[in-house]
Chain A
């Protein structure tokens, strides 16, 4: 980017794609598609490097040509003002050359890249997970018992997969269009209401990969994040085992008070210990959300984040992030823009719950599930 500072050399900016790729490859953001960790992400990055270098070469050629012309053929004080430059109207050979060379390059690019489109759409060898986007969070459902119903594990914002497995996704939307994107694992695929879109993700190494919704979906589009937690197979099996256990029902004490508050305030939208897909339960209670569904909280504590993966559930020492969780229950729209009057997002409970209620609710929520299993 140094060239921007030197206007004289401005035309070298045509080499920008090269600089861009060089600079971006040393970036260390957590959404970096130039640092692929999945099979498809690697395939896409190789395609992008190819097109990027081709663009860079052509760009440098054009830049050099422009700079050369501008320097060589500029008007000089020594020029004879009566001298009229030769009036060249064209040259068929030149025209033909610079039509055919781009055609050739593009044919090469097409042949090299179009098959990848079909590769990306091939079904993976692994399990299938149902992905549902809604304003403004993601739900992931697993079919563990192979009965064709994605009702065995239902979790929110964090998709947990075993390392190395090509996991198929079945992408749905419950309201508007969203787009599922975990850049280090694969490209995007839109979640369109009324349609089911297949896609897949896989990772070559365990870790937590970050993602976002990338199709504009309204007010809190920026706050609809994704985490893909990739575990070793044994860890994954343990995660599944724990998820299949029902949450214990709080029998006494503050947690029981919290459970009562939960039953009074939260079950209209949230579900614990489902057998049914969450939205059906919510519907029986008179669905109050445009999407008809809010996160299933059965194993809330097993997640690393909450509220559309906006907030960490635990701090670095593994202590529960009570402060944010309390604030979230008290007044969610203040932390994450929502339009609760129009049944979009979680409403504020500031008027309904006092400080003690909030404490009790948090105590109750702490009984839901074990701490997360983290990748090594």
Chain B
């Protein structure tokens, strides 16, 4: 769905460029135009598409949140009906968790990780494309429910038995259960691929303890995904079987225990929290050293604490269930484990501050977002410790205090980090920086709007405002802070529009020559991705680097002179690779996108008519057949694949990807 918009002049070039074999089992060549995106297996284009699609869903999920806030602006709000409200808060969470933050992290993981480990691509490029297109299919599938009788309305946590057919007779929850299974397949494919890539495709000399922290955190996240996704899959399968085939898993009159769903959901759901936050921890562990001009303080400790968070994250899930009626022994045990997961998190925060200590801080936009992550996440983390006190949590849970807490973690933490990453790596992906002034506006407006929206929710929670209530009474005393929160939410909207304007203006400015082309190393970076030209050439590295240290590229630029004083000996832009070699690259493929199209059809069929499922299966099996029989490479690969002339024109070409990124955002903005 994404990125089909291209500049017309590029579209003209594309005719006659693709030359598949007869029989349909050939491979498309490295064409231009939309085919260059839809059939691509290039991890960089896939990463950009993940980002663009995720930003589209971000605006959708934000719109949902704004409607929720509009309803709560006054007591007894009449903007929405209870039914619409329930659908909106459910879809806001589903969208933001599964269609925004996870794929945004996937965008950076796909684009940056191979560059940081010195690889030419991921381990399985076609599988990578498959993961993207299945994710796209899942997003469309879940949101299709809006147009065919109503979106899911049982909450993203979908507690049984409220989500059974008896209590949710519409098809919304079917779309939820099946849609998330499809999204799960996408994540599983992506996570296995990235795990293998990071473990096996590192450049010579890059031992695990020389990997950049971002890559480390992505590795931890992939492990969490690999092991947590099957658990939610089982939960969703049980729910689908109940709803579609009349099974009894959550049928209380047959003796079901509704807590089964909660355990399965949160065994996935809590690692999921770390899946959402750790990529951002990785991002700021890159940006803070670069903009402080100092190495990360306690690299080993940060890596180990990241892994420890991932590991301990498996032992805390039931803190979501302190009032669900588990025995006091379980409650106390999970309370204790939850408290102690704060230790590695706190260590990270202090290490980041120590990283800045004694540095010379450059307040670029990515640095500002990174510092705001450190501060805002701390607030969320500390309120998290308050929730870990199980006795206290009996008052806090399911109130707006919790809403405040996880928005400080997921917005103040995860999203701030992802914004930092966006501004930081934009020149690497597109060859120019986003405008710093507009970036600062974006930053300050987000920070103010965010704190105005979610800060008051702490107070509302203590005042007793419960979550997921479509209205509150005038006698409850919630009016003032709800009004403040709603105004804050609209400030966030303005901030995001500023960001959209920034993206458009920087891109048009770049095309017209007002925004300068950046060199390989615009930020004086420390890791391998800055040792290759901007935008990244299609083959990434002319020569596979040999690594001897953490922050290897920095050591190429700074060395001690005879007196032992650290001096800059070379400029990163000068010693970076030139992108003038042409190694053999994997060819594009038709089949990932075809295969992905089969899955939502199967899902629709399970809801409406098994004939559609049959059609989807035919597509799926046909695509697998085509996939396994397509030749290993495109006959033109290696010479005619269009990156001979990539120095200037390629920069232009990557600019066009930005059109796509922009058209995603424009309609909503």
Binding site for B on A (CB under 8 A): 1, 4-5, 7, 10-11, 13-14, 16-17, 20-21, 23-24, 27-34, 41, 43-45, 47-48, 51-52, 54-56, 58-59, 62-63, 65-66, 69-70, 73-75, 79, 82-91, 94-95, 98-99, 102-103, 106, 109-110, 113-114, 116-121, 135, 171, 175-177, 179, 181, 183, 186-190, 192-195, 197, 212-223, 290, 337, 342, 344
Q: Which B residues are CB-close (under 8 A) to A66?
A: 353, 371, 374-375
User: Which of B371, B462, B567 contacts A34, CB < 8 Å?
Assistant: B462
- B295 contacts chain A at the CB level, 8 A cutoff: yes
User: Which of B153, B161, B462 contacts A33, CB < 8 Å?
Assistant: B462
Instruction: Tell me, rounded to whole Å, the shortest Cβ–Cβ distance linking A124 to chain B.
Output: 15
Instruction: Determine the interface band of chain B, counting residues with CB < 8 A from chain A.
Output: 35 or more
Interface residues of B in 69-91 (CB under 8 A from A): 81-83, 86
Instruction: Tell me, rounded to whole Å, the shortest Cβ–Cβ distance linking B317 to chain A.
Output: 16
Contact indicator A114/B336 (Cβ below 8 Å): yes
Tell me, in angstroms, the Cα distance from A217 to B252 when the chains sit together: 15
Q: Which A residues are CB-close (under 8 A) to B339?
A: 106, 109-110
Give the contact stretch, choosing among B356-364, B500-508, B527-535. Answer: B356-364
User: Which of B361, B374, B462, B464 contacts A74, CB < 8 Å?
Assistant: B361
Smallest CB-CB A-B distances: 4 pairs:
A187-B394, A31-B464, A29-B477, A222-B469
Instruction: Tell me, rounded to whole Å, the shortest Cβ–Cβ distance linking B465 to chain A.
Output: 7
Contact indicator B357/A73 (Cβ below 8 Å): yes
Contact indicator A221/B397 (Cβ below 8 Å): no
Give the contact stretch, choosing among B378-386, B421-429, B617-625. Answer: B378-386
- B476 contacts chain A at the CB level, 8 A cutoff: yes
Contact indicator B298/A214 (Cβ below 8 Å): no
6 extra interface residue pairs, beta carbon distance < 8 Å, beyond A87-B294, A90-B298, A212-B464: A27-B459, A31-B476, A48-B389, A82-B567, A84-B567, A181-B466
State whether A216 and B359 are in contact (beta carbons under 8 Å apart), knowing that A117-B391, A194-B257 are contacts in the complex.
Answer: no
State whether A85 and B359 are in contact (beta carbons under 8 Å apart), knowing that A20-B459, A29-B464 are contacts in the complex.
Answer: yes
Interface residues of B in 309-329 (CB under 8 A from A): 323-325, 327-328
State whether A7 and B447 are in contact (beta carbons under 8 Å apart), knowing that A34-B462, A117-B391, A194-B258 are contacts in the complex.
Answer: yes
Q: Which B residues are CB-close (under 8 A) to A54?
A: 385
- B398 contacts chain A at the CB level, 8 A cutoff: yes
State whether A117 and B390 are in contact (beta carbons under 8 Å apart), knowing that A74-B361, A183-B395 are contacts in the complex.
Answer: yes
Tell me, in angstroms, the Cα distance from A217 to B257 when the chains sit together: 16
Contact indicator B463/A31 (Cβ below 8 Å): yes
State whether A32 and B252 are in contact (beta carbons under 8 Å apart), knowing that A88-B294, A98-B350, A179-B398 are contacts in the complex.
Answer: no
Q: Which A residues are CB-close (under 8 A) to B166?
A: 290
A–B complex contacts, Cβ < 8 Å, 16 sampled: A14-B375, A24-B459, A29-B477, A30-B477, A44-B395, A54-B385, A55-B383, A59-B378, A83-B360, A89-B297, A95-B347, A98-B346, A177-B324, A188-B397, A189-B394, A194-B252
Instruction: Tell me, rounded to whole Å, the shortest Cβ–Cβ distance linking A1 to chain B.
Output: 6
Give the contact stretch, choosing among B105-113, B448-456, B631-639, B659-667. Answer: B448-456
Q: Which A residues are CB-close (under 8 A) to B159?
A: 176-177, 215-216
Query: Digit string of B281-301 for contact with A (CB within 8 Å is 1, else 0)?
Result: 000000000001111111111
State whether A192 and B475 are in contact (beta carbons under 8 Å apart), knowing that A73-B356, A215-B159 are contacts in the complex.
Answer: no
Contact indicator B386/A110 (Cβ below 8 Å): no
Q: Which A residues are CB-close (under 8 A) to B463?
A: 24, 27, 29, 31-32, 34
Q: Which A residues are CB-close (under 8 A) to B155?
A: 216
Q: Which A residues are CB-close (under 8 A) to B389?
A: 47-48, 51, 109, 113
Contact indicator A55/B346 (Cβ below 8 Å): no
Tell me, in angstroms, the Cα distance from A85 to B292 when the chains sit together: 9
Name the CB-closest residue of B to A84. B566
Contact indicator A32/B462 (Cβ below 8 Å): yes
Contact indicator A99/B294 (Cβ below 8 Å): no
User: Which of A75, A98, A176 contacts B347, CB < 8 Å?
Assistant: A98
Contact indicator B82/A222 (Cβ below 8 Å): yes
Tell me, in angstroms, the Cα distance from A74 to B394 when the chains sit together: 44
Name the CB-closest residue of A to B393. A187
Q: Which A residues are CB-close (under 8 A) to B566?
A: 84, 87
Tell me, in angstroms, the Cα distance from A118 to B603 when the chains sit together: 46
User: Which of B255, B354, B452, B458 contacts A4, CB < 8 Å?
Assistant: B452
State whether A13 and B167 are in contact (beta carbons under 8 Å apart), knowing that A1-B455, A66-B353, A176-B161 are contacts in the complex.
Answer: no
Tell me, in angstroms, the Cα distance from A55 to B374 when the chains sit together: 15
Q: Which A residues are CB-close (under 8 A) to B523?
A: none
Q: Which B residues are CB-close (under 8 A) to A118?
A: 328, 332
Q: Which B residues are CB-close (under 8 A) to A194?
A: 252, 255-258
Q: Which B residues are CB-close (under 8 A) to A342?
A: 167, 169
Contact indicator A27/B477 (Cβ below 8 Å): yes
Q: Which B residues are CB-close (under 8 A) to A16?
A: 379, 455, 458
Interface residues of B in 478-516 (CB under 8 A from A): 478, 484
Q: Which A residues are CB-close (under 8 A) to B157?
A: 216
State whether A20 and B458 are in contact (beta carbons under 8 Å apart), knowing that A32-B463, A48-B395, A87-B295 are contacts in the complex.
Answer: yes
Contact indicator A17/B458 (Cβ below 8 Å): yes
State whether A13 and B455 are in contact (beta carbons under 8 Å apart), knowing that A219-B83, A337-B81 are contacts in the complex.
Answer: yes
Q: Which A residues are CB-close (under 8 A) to B336?
A: 110, 114
Contact indicator B297/A90 (Cβ below 8 Å): yes
Q: Which B residues are CB-close (under 8 A) to A117?
A: 328, 331-332, 335, 390-391
